[in-house]
Structure 1
Amino acid sequence: MEHQPHILLLPFPALGHIKPLLSLAELLCQAGLHVTFLNTDHMHRSLTRLPQPSSHFPTLYFDFISDGLPTDHPRNMKLIGELMISLKSVTKQRFRDLLAELSTKSERPVTCVIADGIMSFAVDIAKELGVRVITFWAFSPCCLWPFLCLPKLIEEGQLPVGGEDDDMDRMVKGVPGMEGLLRRRDLPSICRRQLDSPIFQFYVEQIKAMTQTSALILNTFDRLEDPTLSYIAPLFSKIYTIGPLTALLTSHIEHDILPSLSSFNNLCEADRSCMTWLDSQSLRSVVYVSFGTTGLMKRSQLLEFWHGLVNSGKPFLWVVRRDDIEGAEAEHPIPEELQVGTKERGFLVDWAPQEEVLAHQAVGGFLTHNGWNSTLEGIVAGVPMVCWPTLADQQINSRWVSEVWRIGLDMKDTCDRSTIEMMIRAVMEERREEMMRSMDRIVKLAHDCVNHGGSSYHNLDKLIEDIKEI
C-alpha cells in the first residue's frame, strides 16, 4: 500500500501562530495525511494538554527543537529581538539536523514542509535538502501586501513612521490598491522601528524568502479580501485561501464526536465559570474584552479601560492575564469605584474559551487587539468590534474592520476612558444596526466559503491533492 504524504508543520513560537497551524494539522490528518507538528521546546512545555497520537489523531505527532534561549528567558514582546536572533543562529541548524533525519533515515520521510512565513530559515534548509516547502502566513493578507511593498516604501523614504513630528494621519503612497485608505498609523507595527533595527531587518528577510517558496497558504476567504489578493497573487506560483480555519474545521469535523485540537491549544486552562455567568446575562448585552496572549499594557492604560467599561454601564467579561501589565506597578490596589462597578456587572478571568464566548447569545460586542485569529473569530461569530491594536498586523486589521468591512470602530493610538466608553456605547447601541448589516453580509460570505462547494473548502481539497502529487 502506498504511504500517505508526511507533512512537517513549523510555526513561529507564539500562540497566535501556533493556533491556526494546529487547525490546519487537524484538517490534514482528517484527510489521512501524516503530520509532524514541530514546536520549540519552550512552547511545547507551555501549551497545556497537547494530545499524543491516539484514536482521535492517529497520524499526528508532536516534536520539538530548542529555540536556543535559556529556560528562564521570559520570551516576551520586549525581548522578541533576542528570540528572532536565536531562531536564526541556533534553531536553524537544529532544524536542519531534524529535517535531514526525517527525510533520509525515517520510515516515513517528509514529503513537504509547511513553514510559518516568519520562519524563513526553513525555506533555505528545505531547498538544500530537496524537500518541497510551502509558506503559511499567519497574519492577514491586508497586512502581507504592505509587507511585500516594504522595498518600495523604503526607497521612497516613507519609512520609518512615528517620529516626534510625524503626521501619522498622512496617507501612505506606494501600496497599490490602498491609496486614500492606508494612513501612516495603519502600517504594520515594525514600520515604527528604525530601518537598521534587528527586528525590522528580520521581517525584511522573511518577506524576501516567502516569494521563493512553491506556494502560499492564507487563513482568509476570497470574498473578504479579493482586492488585496489580486495584488498578492502574481508574486506566488500558487495561493490557497482556506479560511477562516476555525469555521472550515467545523464544516469538516463532527465536534460532538471528535475533540478539536484547538481545545488543547491553551497557555493556561480556560476558566469556564465565565460561561455560567454569561448564561445569566441578557441577549447581546455583554462586552467581551481580550487583548490576546502577547501584548503588554501599562497600569495607567488598564485603569483607563476599566473606567471606560464601568462607565459604559454595560456588563463586561474581561480576560486579564497575570502577565498583561508591565512592571511592578501591576500589584498596586484597584480603586474602589472600579471594584464596585465590576462586582455589579463585570466578570474577570485569567483565560476564557474565546470562540465559545463570542458565539454566546449574551455577547454583543468585542473589545479586541485585532490579532488576525481574534478578528476572524469575531467575524465568524458575527460580533462587532472596538479595536485597540498594538503589534504586528493589528494596526492594519483594525483599519480594515472599521473602514473597509465596517464591522467595528478603530481606536488605535488612543487610550482614554471617555473614548472607550463612547465607542462601547456606539457598538452596543448607536451604530449597532448599521454595523450588523455589514456583519451579517460578511458572516454569510464566510460560512458560504467554508461549506461544501465554497472557495475555502475547494482550496483545502486542492492543497491536499497537490501535496499528494509531490
Structure 2
Amino acid sequence: MTGHRKILIVAYPAQGLLNPSLRFAKRLLNMGVDVTYSTSLSAIRCIDEKTTPHGLTFSPFSDGHDSGQQPDTTLQQFVSDFATNGASAVAEILSFATAAGQPFDHLVYTTVAPWAALVADAHGIQSTVLWCQSATAMDIYYYYFDGYQGLISSNNNNPIFPINFPGLPPLIIADLPSFFLPSNANENHFVISLLKDHVDALKLSPTILVNSFNELEPESIRAIEKLVFLPIGPLVPSEFLDGKESLNNSSGEDFIKIPAEDDYIQWLNTKPKSSVVYVSFGTLATLSMDQIEEVASGQLECRRPFLWVIRDSLSAERLSKIDLLKKQGMIVNWCSQAKVLCDEAIGCFLTHGGWNSTVEAVVGGVPMVVFPQWADQAKNGKMIEDVWRTGVRVRKREGDGMGEGREIERCLKMVMGDEKMKRNAEKWRNLAREALNNGGSSTINLQAFLDDL
C-alpha cells in the first residue's frame, strides 16, 4: 500500500538535479504518495507552472541567492549558503508538519544536499539519497574514502596508472572523477569534502535511489555489500516511453521555464533517418573559443547535418566559419534535449557525457561521441565506450586537453558508420524502457522502496 505516504524531497538548485528529482516526484504522485518539494526560491521561480506535476506541493526557502548564482559567487560559497540556509528551512518544514499533526514519513534528498540527512535524523525521520549520477560513480567515491585515497593521490599524475576497485570494470587514473586529479586543487578539496559528507550520510541510511536501472550497471549495484542500491531510473520524461507522437505534442517534460520553441524540430523533420549529429555540452561546461572552433572544424569535415546547442549566442556568431556552418547545420541556444534524442533523424550525440545526457541518450537509442569536461564524465565515457559499447571517446591532445577538429571528425565518422554500435544502442534503449514498464526492474524497485517506508 503506497497511499497516504508523505515524502519531503529536498533538491539542490541545479537544472541537472531539478529535472530528474521533479520526474521522481511525478512518479511518486502517480503512485498515490503525498509529495512536498523543497528547494531555493530562485529555483522555484524557474519552474514552469504549465509542466509542474499535478498535486505537487512546493515549500521554497531563501538560500541567500534569490536571483540565483551570480558570476561573482563561487560554487563553494553558493553550495555552502544553500546548506546553511537550507538546513534551517528544512528543520522548520519538518517541525511545522509534525506540530500540525501531519508529519512526513520520509525525506529524500538529491546529490549535493547530504546535510538534509542530518536534519531528518535530528527530527527522527528516515532519509534516502536520490543519487543523480551512476551507481558506479557512488562506488568509486565510497572506495576512495574506504582505503583507496592514498593509492589514487600518490598516482594521480600518471593518467594510465591502473585502479582496480572490487566489483567494478578495470579503470585507470584518467577514467576517475576529475575531483581526484591534480588540476583545480582548491575546488577539488571543497568537492571532495562534499563527497565525503555524502558517503558519511549513508551511515544513517545505506539505501541509494539511483538514476539508473539494474540491467545497465549490474556489477556496480552489487559491488559493495554495505550499500543498498535501488535503481529507479532512467528518470527521463514519461513521453520518452509513449512514442514520437506523444513527445511531439509535449514540452518533453522540461520542468524549467524554457524559451519559445524554435523551428529545430521542423528542421529535423526534413532530414533522413539517423543522418543528423546532435551536439550539446550541457548546462555547466564552458568551452574556450578555440575549443568551439575545433568542434566546428570537426563537424564541417564530417560533412553531416548537425543540430548544435551553443548557449552563448555571441560565441556562435564569432565562429570563423559561421556561414558554412549555417549551410550545413543548425545552431540554437537552447533545445528540448528529450525531444531531440527521440527524433529519428538523430544518428549521433556529441556530448560532454554528463549522467543525465548519458541516460537520455541510452533511452533514445542514440550512439555517442563523448568529450568529457569534468566531474564523473570521463568515467561515463569509459562505460559508454568499453562496457555498453554505444560510443567512443574523443582523444584529447596532450598538454592542454584540447579536442582537435580532426579527432572529432574521426569519432563522428566512426560512430555514424558503425552498425554494431547502433544495434548496441538499440538494445540498451529497449532494456531501459522495459525497466520502466509495469513489472520492470525499476518499477519493482520503486514499489519496494515505498513498501519499506
Give the structure-1-normalised TM-score: 0.86
| Aligned counterpart in structure 1 of residue 58 of structure 2, from 58, 62, 67 | 62
* C-alpha distance in structure 1 between counterparts of 2:443 and 2:135, whole Å: 18
| Aligned counterpart in structure 1 of residue 302 of structure 2, from 301, 312, 315 | 312
The answer to whether the 8 Å contact 2:131/2:209 transfers is yes
- The offset of 1:343, in angstroms, is 2.1
Partner of 1:440: 426
- The offset of 1:251, in angstroms, is 5.6
Change (3 A) 1:425 1:42: same
Q: Does 1:333 align with 2:318?
A: yes
Partner of 2:351: 368
Partner of 2:178: 189
Q: Flag structure 1 segments of 5+ consecutive residues without an equivalent.
A: none
Change (3 A) 1:215 1:454: same
- Which moves more between the two structures, 394-403 or 438-447? 438-447
- The offset of 1:383, in angstroms, is 0.6
Give the secondary structure class of the aligned counterpart of 1:197: helix
Q: Flag structure 2 segments of 5+ consecutive residues without an equivalent.
A: none
| Aligned counterpart in structure 1 of residue 411 of structure 2, from 411, 423, 427 | 423
The answer to whether the 8 Å contact 1:244/1:376 transfers is yes
* C-alpha distance in structure 1 between counterparts of 2:446 and 2:243, whole Å: 14
* C-alpha distance in structure 1 between counterparts of 2:71 and 2:60, whole Å: 17
Change (3 A) 1:414 1:185: farther
Q: Does 1:240 align with 2:230?
A: yes
* C-alpha distance in structure 1 between counterparts of 2:90 and 2:251, whole Å: 24
The answer to whether the 8 Å contact 2:301/2:409 transfers is yes
Give the secondary structure class of the aligned counterpart of 2:129: strand
- The offset of 1:302, in angstroms, is 1.0
The answer to whether the 8 Å contact 2:206/2:226 transfers is no
- The offset of 1:19, in angstroms, is 1.2
Q: Does 1:45 align with 2:45?
A: yes
Q: Does 1:388 align with 2:371?
A: yes
What's the RMSD between the two structures over aligned residues?
Answer: 2.8
* C-alpha distance in structure 1 between counterparts of 2:425 and 2:178, whole Å: 27
Q: Does 1:401 align with 2:384?
A: yes
Q: Does 1:449 align with 2:435?
A: yes
The answer to whether the 8 Å contact 1:22/1:261 transfers is no
Change (3 A) 1:405 1:331: closer
* C-alpha distance in structure 2 between counterparts of 1:31 and 1:252, whole Å: 18
**Amino acid paired to 1:392:** A
The answer to whether the 8 Å contact 2:238/2:253 transfers is no
Paired residues, what number? 443
Larger relative contact order (Cα-Cα within 8 Å, sequence gap ≥ 6):
1
Change (3 A) 1:384 1:251: closer
**Amino acid paired to 1:420:** I
The percent of aligned pairs where both chains have the same amino acid is 26
Give the structure-2-normalised TM-score: 0.89
**Amino acid paired to 2:318:** P
* C-alpha distance in structure 2 between counterparts of 1:70 and 1:459, whole Å: 36
1:336-378 CA-to-partner distances (Å, cap 9, x unmatched) read xx22222212101111111111111111000111111111111
- The offset of 1:389, in angstroms, is 1.5
- Which moves more between the two structures, 87-96 or 35-44? 87-96
Q: What are the within-5 Å matches in structure 2 for residues 52-131 of structure 1? A: 57=54, 59-69=55-65, 71=67, 73-74=69-70, 79-105=74-100, 108-131=102-125
* C-alpha distance in structure 2 between counterparts of 1:256 and 1:299, whole Å: 38
Give the secondary structure class of the aligned counterpart of 2:36: strand
Change (3 A) 1:235 1:50: farther
Q: Does 1:228 align with 2:211?
A: no
- The offset of 1:103, in angstroms, is 3.0
The answer to whether the 8 Å contact 2:19/2:254 transfers is no
**Amino acid paired to 1:442:** W
* C-alpha distance in structure 2 between counterparts of 1:339 and 1:400, whole Å: 34
- The offset of 1:253, in angstroms, is 12
Give the secondary structure class of the aligned counterpart of 2:124: coil
* C-alpha distance in structure 1 between counterparts of 2:358 and 2:3, whole Å: 38
* C-alpha distance in structure 1 between counterparts of 2:317 and 2:206, whole Å: 52
Partner of 1:168: 159
* C-alpha distance in structure 2 between counterparts of 1:243 and 1:331, whole Å: 34
* C-alpha distance in structure 2 between counterparts of 1:297 and 1:249, whole Å: 31
- The offset of 1:228, in angstroms, is 0.9
Partner of 1:348: 331
